[in-house]
Structure 1
Amino acid sequence: MEQKAMGYHETMEIHEIFNMKTTCLLKSKMMQGICLDNELKALMEKDVKQSVQAIQELQGLYKKARTDYVQ
């Protein structure tokens, strides 16, 4: 079955989610370095792993993104 490209608005929404997940990943990674509570550190590590997985899935969606731009 042929896969159709996403619409421009869908591509933009994926991009916004990608940016948000990247920011969350960076924040959790940085906060781990200054956190003293081991339970909180473990939660942040779990968040990092989930964010990496989500980013990889979003990268897969980018393959369906429209690359032609019409003015």
Structure 2
Amino acid sequence: MTKYLGLHETIDVHEILTFKHLSLTKTTTMSKLVQDPALKGILEEDSTACSNHIQQLQKFITNREETL
């Protein structure tokens, strides 16, 4: 049995993906400007997490079907 993502689900994933890209851009930009080492570490962790989330979300968009 093959299960497909619906159009509305694909659009929702795309919206989340767009938000994550914006978040990653802002985090990366701000981490270059910040001077506090603790805050810089937090921003770098967030950047890594955002990158992982983006990769996972891209899999949902490119692999629209799931075989059960």
Q: TM-score, normalised by structure 1?
A: 0.85
User: Does 1:55 pair with 2:47?
Assistant: no
Corresponding residue for residue 14 of structure 1: 13
Number of the residue aligned with 1:38: 37
Q: Which runs of 5+ in 1 are unaligned?
A: 66-71
* Rounded Cα–Cα distance in structure 2 between residues aligned with 1:3 and 1:10: 16
Shift of 1:4: 1.6
Name the SS for the 1:23 alignment partner. helix
Listed one character per residue, the Cα deviations across residues 5-48 of structure 1 (whole Å, up to 9, x for unaligned) are 10011000000000000000000000011101110000000000
In the TM superposition, residue 49 of structure 1 has moved relative to its aligned partner by 0.3
Instruction: Supply the AA of the counterpart residue of 2:64.
Output: K
Alpha-carbon distance in 1 for matches of 2:39, 2:2: 42
Equivalenced residues, count: 64
CA distance in 1, matches of 2:19, 2:34: 22
Q: Which structure shows the higher helix fraction?
A: 2
For structure 2, list consecutive stretches of 5 or more residues without a partner in the other structure.
none
Structure 1 runs of 4+ aligned residues shifted over 6 Å read none
CA distance in 2, matches of 1:40, 1:56: 24
